[in-house]
Structure 1
Amino acid sequence: MKIFIFCILFSLNLYAKEVLQIKENVLVWPQEKIHFSDLLFKKDQKKVPAPLLKRVIFEALKNGEKKVISSERLALILRRKGVQEFALHIPQEIHLLAQPFQLKEEAVRSALRKAWSKLCRECRFSFLKLSLPQVPKNFRAHSWRLSPVTTVPRGSFSQKVFISNEKDEKRFFWIQGQVQIIQKVPVATRALSFGTKLKAEDVKWEYRDVTYAVDSVPSSVEGKILKKGLRSKDIIWFSDLKRGKVLHRGDEVKVSIRKSNWVLSLRGVALQDADVGERVRVRIPKTRKVLTAIVSKEGEVVLQ
């Protein structure tokens, strides 16, 4: 369990105006002196006058060098450096590490997998290639985030990433790569003919490579009817199944009567099941007349 020491350094007025949180882990640039601003979070830097932020607290570290400072020692150093007008919340130990900013492959892979998994929960993603951008050293980058991910890639991909520097300036770069997508899909256990009503024993679910698939996978197939023949071990895609009726007997529908320059809309009730493009009989409650119309989409028919 981490223990924090609340160390109050009084000003000449014996009054602490602000409370500042010191970082527990401080990442700094190699060969550069460590300033008071490096020890603070962004929100606390805004509370401190610029001259105090620029005050040197530690000498420069070599690339990769680490240093651990106790809270007592840091409090003493800050007092000697003239940081006496703020209350400081100091961790038990402060870890300094000199390392230039870099995008790490494992962190990028993890972020991409997390974003893609929200779009395809049954998918597994394996990286075949990954190319990270080169960020100019003079940009002084310190953090990054992916731009919104809205689609699952199909093999090769380019993903925009925003990188921020110490001044909160942002630039975008591109992460490029190639990914293989494995998804759990329904597979025919035997040769199936056109019109087969699928049973549990006709299908098994297994992981297959769907990287370049152009069709989607149905969430369930039992009880569905095939509209094409399949070989044993073929994947059953959504387009292989007959669609269910979009209109059912007793459904209330919008009836549109179209002429050359006008459209009249009525409310009706379907008297039979039908799919898009099929003819259906509809009763108009107000007149009790029965009309024959064509289903244009779910809940709507057109009288031509």
Structure 2
Amino acid sequence: MATKSSSYAAMIKAEATRLGFFQCGIARAAFLEEEAPRLENWLKQNAHGEMAYMENHFDKRLDPRLLVPGARSVISLALNYYTDQKQEDPEAPKISKYAFGTDYHTVIKEKLFALLDFIRQNIGDVDGRAFVDSAPVMDKAWAKRAGLGWQGKNSNLISQKKGSFFFLAELIIDLELDYDEAFQNDHCGSCTRCIDACPTDAIAQPYVVDGSRCISYLTIELKNEIPAAFKGKMDNWVFGCDICQDVCPWNRFSTVHQEQAFRPADGLLNMSREQISEITEDVFRKVFKGSAVKRTKFSGLQRNIDFLRETD
């Protein structure tokens, strides 16, 4: 006989699927005991570079009940963004697949609010918050606890069903639900393709990424000049980097997303090397309107382009 907590969980998962999420798992809101020493060591090694915000709210990162008083459940959701479309000019400065369309923060927040509204309308007065990569939530740890997949050697969460080209998001709510089994197995085996392929040696050791060496960090998070030590090692990336995912064998299971908002912005994929290299602020605003690329601002993208030009 189904309990309220199990029927509620099934109802929430069905609605998550209807909203476009390909996976939804639920974990009990509790202190992340295993992750605490790992996070502390990672910060001590300055692997977060200039991402000072990673040092903030240490306790909240490890305990969702400090973010949502009375929290009982962490609902982890995965939204596919994989595309087989590519930039037409093979010599054009490269932009990560996830930034081809509308900024994922906007798209996913809308879906999360819709799911939270659904919960309130169908279950009752439930308190909760939605999180998309913008608060002290360890999304990969929660996704693993919720049974969505395992953290690979490149630190990305990997799903046996879809690979790793997907976004993670969470709803933390004060409702008791049926909880999924944590994902226990590691299916990376002896493979080291991501480690071997990284041109900046950012994967310092298996499962540990030195964020301060990651091309995504260097082209997006880093606000100062890119260190000269990385000249000739950026592999022509100007926003983000897909290398460690492109070489991952599990991404042979990736399927093209069906999210309209993630369709490439008009004119983006056919921009030539010259057009991107000589982009003006007006063109930047037009092509990247509503895109995650706006995070770098025009000045940041220009800095990245200039850095590549210096190494040509």
Q: Which category of TM-score, normalised to the shorter sequence, fits these structures?
A: under 0.3
Question: Please, what TM-score do these two structures have when normalized by structure 1?
Answer: 0.22
Question: Please, what TM-score do these two structures have when normalized by structure 2?
Answer: 0.22
Larger helix fraction of residues? 2
Larger strand fraction of residues? 1
Q: Which has the higher contact order (CA 8 A, sep 6+)?
A: 2
